Structures are given as C-alpha cells and as structure tokens.
Amino acid sequence: MSDLFSVDGKVVLVTGGSRGIGEMIARGFVRGGAKVYISSRKADVCEALATELSRDGTCIAVPADLSTEDECRRLAAEIAAREDHLDVLVNNAGATWGAPMDEYDEAAFERVLALNVKGVFHLTKFLRPLLQAHATADEPSRVINIGSIDGIHVPMMETYAYSASKAAVHQLTRHLAKALAPSTTVNAIAPGPFESKMMKATLDAFGDQIASGAPLKRIGRPDDMAGAAIYLASRAGSYVTGVILPVDGGIATVG
C-alpha cells in the first residue's frame, strides 16, 4: 500500500509554488521524497521557500512570470536543461481580481485569463516533450491543473474573470486529457476555501460563515490539498484522467 501512493523519486514542477495552494502541494511532494521545482514571479520568495523545503528533501527554485508565452517557453527550457524528463506538472500559478461589474475592465480580464488559462496551456505545451520522455501507458506522467469550486458554482464575490477562468481550466483539463493520452493523465483539483493569501480577504470577512455552511464544517488544511495531489500523481491515480476533483468539504457539490 505504501508503494501505491508513493511519489518517491519523481521529478515534479509546481508553478505558483511559493505560497498558498502551491506551497501546500510542494511541501507534500518534498516530504514524499520527490525532487520538486517551484516557480513563481517573486524570485526572493521562491528561493526562500526552496531553501526551507530543502531541509526535508530536494526543492529548487526557478522563478518565472507565466502570464506570457515567452516566459512559459523559458521555464520549460530551464527545466529541460536540468532534467531529461518530468513526471508531474502542477499548473497552480494564478491570479484573481474582484470589483463591481461596472468597474470590471479589460485589463482585469486580460491579467487573470493570461495567467490562469493561457499560462496553463502554454506551459503544458512546452513541457510536453519532457512529460512524454519516460512516460508509458502503464506509468503515465501527470498534469494536475488547479481549478476552483468557483468554476463549478457561482461565487459569493464579484470575481467575474476568476470564476470564468477556472471554468475554462476545467474544460481545458478535459481537452488536454484526451490530447495527451495515453502517455499523460491530465486532471484538475478544484479547491474550496483554504488558508492562503488569495483567500485571506474572503476568509477574514466570511470565514466562520463559510466553515459553518460547508457540509464538513471546516476550512481546508494543507494536508487535504497535498493528499489530493499525491493521489493523482501516484500509482493510485494512474487510471484517472479528465477528472475535476473538488476538494472543498462538499461546498460546491452537496452544500
């Protein structure tokens, strides 16, 4: 059973890996024995976390701004210069924006969609050769996209571009799952409320209300997120592809 959920020795890239959901996932993989690359826009924050996580295993910072195709290409090239294959890509880097509808402008939409949707597609595209290098139908490589329950239900906040982008990520996940099979599985995790910088304002204002309204009556913990990602990346998840997995205490699906 320990082998069934093992990620020991896998080479993993987690984008947006310096904080929040990405940090939770990166910590889980490092502690599971994987060699983990983390990427984010802020080089100093990325380096600091990589140094911290390297006390428990192997974590390497490769900063990048994945809102442009050129930066996605550069990050893929940096990983290819260091590794001859990639076992797991976690597309977590993302942005959000909230404003009343009358104030929601083109810049807000472009900023969110460029990173949350186009960045996921371009980075996966450029890393496809590395993902396929050692992959087989019996032991496929994995792409894990981070969507959101806001792409499943209508959110409380006026985050129009964010919810639209996450619904797009879910559909892109299904499309990529078909395109990259059988050598690569592609799934999405749709997180609910977790303690993160992106969720801070919402949880400060509505945290108790959200927790009490969730069927499981709590906010998500780091091990909830790490566990879902490790399942999808391990042998246990090797026959699962094209799935949108809510990790939300039941809020979007039975709440």
Q: Is the pLDDT of residue 1 over 80?
A: no
d(CA 110, CA 118): 10
Give the per-residue pLDDT at 206.
77
Give the pLDDT mean for 52-79.
98
Backbone angles phi, psi at 87, to 5 degrees: -85, -40
Give the pLDDT mean for 212-229.
95
Catalytic residue check, 162: yes
Give the per-residue pLDDT at 201.
73
Backbone angles phi, psi at 136, to 5 degrees: -135, 170
Query: Structure pTM?
Result: 0.95
The catalytic position among 37, 104, 160, 162 is 162
CATH of the domain at 214: 3.40.50.720
Give the pLDDT mean for 76-80.
98
Structural domain harbouring 229 = 11-247
Give the per-residue pLDDT at 203.
80
- Tens-place pLDDT, residues 112-134: 999 999 999 999 999 999 999 99
Which residues, listed in sequence order, are joined to residue 145 by a DSSP beta bridge? 91, 188
| Number of structural domains found in the chain | 1
Give the per-residue pLDDT at 253.
85
